[in-house]
Structure 1
Amino acid sequence: MFRLCLLLVLISHALSSELCNPADKKALLQLKKDLNNPYLLASWNPATDCCDWYTVTCDPKTHRIVSLTILDSTARSNFSAQIPPSIANLPFLRSLEFHKLPNLTGPLQPAIARLTRLTFLRISWTNLSGPVPSFLAQLNSLTFLDLSFNNLSGTIPPSLSQLSGLAALHLDRNHLTGSIPESFGYFKSSPDLYLSHNNLSGQIPNSFINLNLTTIDLSRNKLEGDASMLFGSNKTVQIVDLSRNLLAFNVSKVVFPSSLTSLDLNHNKVYGSLPGGLTELNFQYLNVSYNRLCGQIPVGGKLQSFDVYSYFHNSCLCGSPLPACK
Structure 2
Amino acid sequence: MAIKLFLLLILLSHVASSLAEGCHPQDKKALLQIKKELNNPTLLSSWKPHTDCCNSSWYGVNCLPSKRVYFLVIEIDNDLRSSFPPSIGNLPYLDSLLLYQLPNLTGAIPQSITKLTKLRSLTIRATGISGPIPNFIAKLKSLTYLDLSENHLSGTLPHNLYKLPNLEAIILQNNILTGPIPPSYGYIKNISSLFLSHNKLSGKLPMSLARLNSLVVDLSYNRFEGDASMFFGFAKQTETIDLSWNMLLFDMGRVELPKTLKLLDVSHNRVYGKLPDGAKNLQWLNVSYNRLCGEIPKGGNIQTFSTNLFSHNKCLCGSPLPSC
TM-score in same-fold range (> 0.5): yes
Indicate the residue corresponding to 1:316 in structure 2: 315
Gaps of 5+ in 2: none
Q: CA RMSD in A?
A: 1.6
Q: How does 1:25-36 map to 2 (within 5 A)?
A: 25-36=28-39
Matched, 1:304 2:308: no
Question: How far 1:322 moved relative to its partner?
Answer: 1.2
In 1, distance between residues paired with 2:149 and 2:6? 57
Question: How far 1:13 moved relative to its partner?
Answer: 2.6
In 2, distance between residues paired with 1:16 and 1:211? 51
Q: 2:70 aligns with which of 66, 71, 74?
A: 66
Matched, 1:16 2:15: no
CA offsets, 1:207-246, max 9 Å, x none?
0111111100000000000111101122111100000000
Q: How does 1:114-263 map to 2 (within 5 A)?
A: 114-263=115-264
Give the SS at the match of 1:321: coil
Per the normalisation by structure 1, the TM-score is 0.94
Q: How many correspondences in the alignment?
A: 319
In 1, distance between residues paired with 2:276 and 2:54? 58
Following TM superposition, the consecutive aligned residue runs of length 4 or more in structure 1 with deviations greater than 4 angstroms are 1-12
CA offsets, 1:170-204, max 9 Å, x none?
01100000000100011111331000000000111
Report percent identity of matched pairs.
Answer: 52
Indicate the residue corresponding to 1:54 in structure 2: 59
CA offsets, 1:261-310, max 9 Å, x none?
0000110000011122322x2x2221111111111111111111211111
Indicate the residue corresponding to 2:292 in structure 1: 293
In 2, distance between residues paired with 1:319 and 1:285? 17
Q: 1:39 aligns with which of 19, 42, 55?
A: 42
Indicate the residue corresponding to 2:283 in structure 1: 284
Q: Which amino acid aligns with 2:211?
A: N
In 1, distance between residues paired with 2:179 and 2:87? 32
In 1, distance between residues paired with 2:189 and 2:63? 31
Give the SS at the match of 1:50: coil
Per the normalisation by structure 2, the TM-score is 0.95
Gaps of 5+ in 1: none
In 2, distance between residues paired with 1:97 and 1:210? 30
